Amino acid sequence: MNKWLSKTELHGETISLVPIVSEHNEAIVEAASDGKLWELWYTGIPTRTSVNEHIAFALSEYEADRVLAFVVVENASGRIIGSTRYLNAKPEHRRLEIGNTWYSASFQRTRVNTECKLLLLTHAFEQLNAIAVEFRTHWHNHASRAALSRLGAKQDGVLRNHQIGADGIYRDTVVFSIIESEWAAAKKALSFKLERSS
């Protein structure tokens, strides 16, 4: 059976996305240490004690053709500066989600996120022939919600009491998406933003 999400590297001017492997564990923890990202209560960032399980789950979901996880590599240094993934893939419906995205604090509010999303969306719409790409974020993650709007994604709705966190607190999830008929305009806008940030 052919996999829809086959392992591939995606290369941009500033960053590259490389499929995650278990040997990335130390570099992932180091990247998350820049800003102590695991202290953010509304998102789940791998820690030294959880990183191996985090990677193992991503790899097992890849085998089921539901996930393709990447590390984000800064081209200039070759250093891992974050992670992102395709997830909740539905090959039969040609739709997937982009999520579990985070970057070292030093690379937040830079061109990195725009370039990362452009690489992922281009591959999704132009190689995987996706008809829709979804994004989900915590209701309280206002920075993420604003960033998704700037990418050209439209808010579909809010899933109330969508998940129960490890601390027992209920999570409301905000769902955004870009559909294939919107991709050309979204791509032009993302490319323009990257040109302006060069």
pTM over 0.85: yes
- Residue at 36 is within a domain: yes
- Residue at 2 is within a domain: no
What's the CA gap between 138 and 70, in Å, rounded?
A: 21
What total number of domains does the chain contain? 1
CATH of the domain at 136: 3.40.630.30
- Residue at 141 is within a domain: yes
- Residue at 5 is within a domain: no
Other Cβ atoms within 10 Å of 19 Cβ, number: 19
pLDDT per position as a tens digit, 18-49: 999 999 999 999 898 865 655 555 556 777 78
Cα distances (Å, whole numbers) of residue 110 to 89, 115, 145: 28, 10, 16
158 strand-pairing partners = 174
Range of the domain at 92: 10-197
- Residue at 55 is within a domain: yes
Cα distances (Å, whole numbers) of residue 51 to 42, 63, 80: 18, 19, 14
- Residue at 3 is within a domain: no
pLDDT per position as a tens digit, 152-180: 899 999 999 999 987 899 999 999 999 99
